[in-house]
Structures are given as C-alpha cells and as structure tokens.
C-alpha cells in the first residue's frame, strides 16, 4: 500500500575525500534510520566502491540502500546517477573509470579516500583522485546513466558552483533529467520563486551529507511511494504527479 516516506538520495561515505571518516556503513545506516528515512542512496564522487558495504548493512538492519554516484562532468557539473542494482552500477562505474584522469590523490591536501567493509573495517584506500572531472559532457553522462537503468538527478542545482545552473545556466537539450535536487540550505518556496523554469521537473532535496550531522533535519520532502524500492521511486518520478512530492 502506498505510504508517505522520506528518502535521501545523496550521501557520501568516507571514500569521498571531502567527507569525514565517521561516514562508515554502520554509522550512515543507523543515522538514516534514526531520521526515519525509508530509502537512501550512497553517492560518492565518481565511484561506487563503498556502496556494496552500505547495502549489506542496510540488509542486516532493514533499510533500502541504493547504489549511486555523484559524477563530475567535463563542465564541472555534478550529476547523480541512482541505480537499481549493484551490477548495473558496477557496469556504469567501468564507463566512468575509463574516462577519469589517472591523477593520484594527495590525502594531505584533498583528504583520505577510505574503503570500508560491511563491518566498518577500513580495508584500503583508492589511489586515484576521485574529486575531479571525468572526460565526458553532461549529455554523455546522462545517457550513460540511463543506458545502465539509472535515474539522473541534477545535484544541488541552486549552488554557485558545480551545478547545472552555475556552469551552464540551463538544461541542455540532450540531457534527460528524472529530477532536480535543491541544496538543503534553500526552501522549496524560495527555489520556485527563483527557478520557476525548473518546476516542470520533480523537485527533491537530499542531504549531500559529508558528516553524520548533515543527515539530521527536516529539509527533505515527503514522497508518496508504493514501497521503499528503486522501482517505486522510478514510478513516482516518471508519473508527472507533483502532488505525490510534498515539502512542509
Ligand atoms: Zn556536489
Ligand atoms: Zn555530493
């Protein structure tokens, strides 16, 4: 039966160099459950390598966790790809990895890129710098997400950097978006006043959490979903029924 739920489709783990070490699989899932979230997505910069561990913890504790990625395109636009399965996300990862320049990370400057297992044990680090642009444009990235069965969401569109609006001032004709995400610092009302031309898309707000306290708050909308799953989320976003997304 359909029910009103809150979801968070933009959460970084400690694998993102800019995220805190406390962003471990167990901490993220437990905090999401304390917040009452029914679906979360793990979206590290240009990688899905920690998603499996968070998914495993979600299975143990009863939370739907989707594999995702925050891709930084050639234009320095951040796009979220949210995938139904780890297999599809992994195939998409291969595309991104083959277009990510082989520059090393400098942890002392950018931060550590830590891999965790599903018991919260650090099991290594990623050597290649994750926080950089892939050699693909927004339309190419959007097409690749769709080709791997994913949903494409323009991240924090109202931000002054790394957003579709800051970099391109518009949605390119060849980019199919399933939703746009408002930065949590802006209210839905203010967003619509300022960016009315984007109101034709489903509007979401997620945390873009880099530390656990980012997950706390009432900024997320309520979604009327048939169940806590990727399929139900996709059905809602494709339904064109804005009355099923409510900001309070
Ligand atoms: Zn971003
Ligand atoms: Zn982010």
SS3 label, residue 171: coil
Packing angle, helices 138-147 and 86-97, rounded to 10: 150
Residue with the two structure tokens 């399965």:
85
> What does the pLDDT read at residue 34?
98
CA of 115 to the centre of ligand 2 (A): 17
For the domain 3-246, what is the CATH code? Answer: 3.20.20.140
Domain extents in the chain: 3-246
Residue 162: nearest ligand to its CA? 1
Q: Is-contact 142 86, C-beta < 8 A?
A: no
Question: What's the predicted TM-score (pTM) here?
Answer: 0.97
246 forms beta bridges with: 222
Q: Report the separation in Å between the CA atom of 162 and the middle of ligand 1, taken as the mean of its atom positions.
A: 6
Distance CA 181, CA 170 (A): 14
Q: What is the radius of gyration, based on Cα positions, of the chain?
A: 17
Answer yes or no: are the C-beta atoms of 44 and 16 closer than 8 Å: yes
Compute, in angstroms, the gap from residue 16 CA to the centroid of ligand 2. 9
Distance 30 CA to ligand 1 centre (A): 23
Selection from 122, 110, 140, 119 nearest residue 45 by Cα = 110
Q: How many CB atoms lie within 10 A of CB 229?
A: 15
Per residue of the chain (248 residues), give pLDDT as tens: 899 999 999 999 999 999 999 999 999 999 999 999 999 999 999 999 999 999 999 999 999 999 999 999 999 999 999 999 999 999 999 999 999 999 999 999 999 999 999 999 999 999 999 999 999 999 999 999 999 999 999 999 999 999 999 999 999 999 999 999 999 999 999 999 999 999 999 999 999 999 999 999 989 999 999 999 999 999 999 998 989 999 98
Distance 203 CA to ligand 2 centre (A): 17
- Separation of CA 70 and ligand 1 centre (Å): 7
The alpha carbon of 69 and the centre of ligand 2 are apart by a number of angstroms equal to 9
């Amino acid at each position: 039966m359909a029910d009103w739920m809150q979801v968070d489709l933009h959460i970084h783990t400690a694998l993102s160099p800019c995220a805190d070490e406390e962003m471990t699989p167990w901490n993220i899932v437990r905090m999401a459950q304390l917040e009452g979230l029914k679906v979360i997505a793990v979206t590290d910069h240009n990688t899905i390598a920690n998603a499996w561990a968070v998914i495993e913890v979600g299975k143990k504790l009863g939370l739907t966790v989707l594999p995702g990625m925050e891709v930084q395109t050639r234009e320095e636009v951040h796009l979220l790809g949210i995938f139904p399965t780890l297999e599809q996300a992994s195939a998409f990862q291969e595309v991104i990895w083959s277009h990510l320049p082989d520059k090393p990370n400098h942890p002392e400057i950018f931060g550590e890129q830590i891999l965790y297992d599903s018991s919260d044990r650090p099991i290594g680090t990623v050597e290649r710098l994750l926080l950089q642009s892939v050699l693909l444009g927004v339309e190419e990235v959007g097409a690749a997400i769709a080709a791997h069965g994913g949903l494409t969401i323009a991240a924090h569109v109202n931000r002054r950097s790394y957003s579709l609006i800051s970099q391109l001032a518009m949605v390119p004709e060849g980019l199919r978006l399933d939703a746009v995400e408002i930065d949590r610092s802006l209210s839905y009302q203010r967003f619509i006043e300022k960016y009315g031309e984007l109101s034709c898309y489903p509007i979401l707000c997620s945390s873009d959490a880099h530390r656990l306290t980012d997950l706390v708050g009432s900024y997320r909308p309520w979604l009327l979903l048939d169940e806590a799953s990727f399929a139900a989320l996709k059905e809602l976003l494709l339904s064109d029924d804005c009355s099923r997304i409510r900001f309070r």
